[in-house]
Amino acid sequence: MGQFINLTAADGFTVPAYVAQPAGTPRGAVVVVQEIFGVNSHIRSVADRYAAEGYLAVAPSTFERVKPGVELGYTEADMGAGFALKTAVDALPGAGVLQDLQAAIDHAAQASGGKVGIVGFCWGGLLAWKAACTLKGLSAAIVYYGGGITTEGEIARQPQCPVMAHFGDQDHWIPLEGVEAFKKAHPAVEVHVYAANHGFNCDQRGSYNEAAANLARERSLAFFAARLG
């Protein structure tokens, strides 16, 4: 359904992005932000599924500034490699990878002619939260088990668009007390907690939880439908 294109960030950096086109005129657009495993088959399938719902979906490679062409699986070695790349991206000076997300948002708006939402998973969830708080052109944001989102510094941010957040109550990376602190600080954010582990949306991981994934997807589609079209 999709293909890779090149986007250009504000600093001139070239960012590859997987773009999935809907059948007919897009009802809006969704930027899909990867986990620490690159724009792999799972992230491409997420984009394809949003395209099947009528949205133009754009999944930028948020590792490109530190290593091009990353596509990892879910072994322990893959996790270590992905975490190292994430750490390198987080250490980039200035706006860093947020410039690449802005380029994806801008392209999504222009190519779809509609409103733009963003959805991110794990590290991508954290990036989606940062985008909702700092970038322009977003009408909605959805965060799946955003690693780091419940830290004091991230809780202090203020979103500039409506936000929905999905968490698992068995996620040892994101303790429930952090989720509660996030909820308390952001009563306008629609927070959902599932009987599930970290990564529950990914059907390629051992932590996949079909019931939680389906319910979260149903809620996410309704959230976007109400705010993007």
Q: Which listed residue (42, 100, 107, 122) is catalytic?
A: 122
Q: Which residues pair with 108 in a beta bridge?
A: none
123-134 and 98-112 helices, crossing angle to 10°: 70
- Contacts of residue 151, defined as CB under 8 A and 6 or more positions apart, other chains included, come to 178
36 residue type, one letter: I
Helix (H) or strand (E) holding 117: strand 116-121
- Of 100, 161, 198, 202, which residue is the catalytic one? 198
Alpha helices, H only, the chain: 41-52, 76-90, 98-112, 123-134, 152-155, 176-185, 210-228
Q: What is the DSSP-derived secondary structure letter of residue 71?
A: B
Answer yes or no: 169 catalytic.
Answer: no
Joined together, the tokens standing for residue 198 give 């970290």
90 flagged as catalytic: no
- Is residue 122 part of the annotated active site? The answer reads yes
| Catalytic site residue from 100, 106, 107, 171 | 171
Quote the CA–CA distance of 36 and 31 in Å, as a whole number. 16
The residues that are catalytic are 122, 171, 198
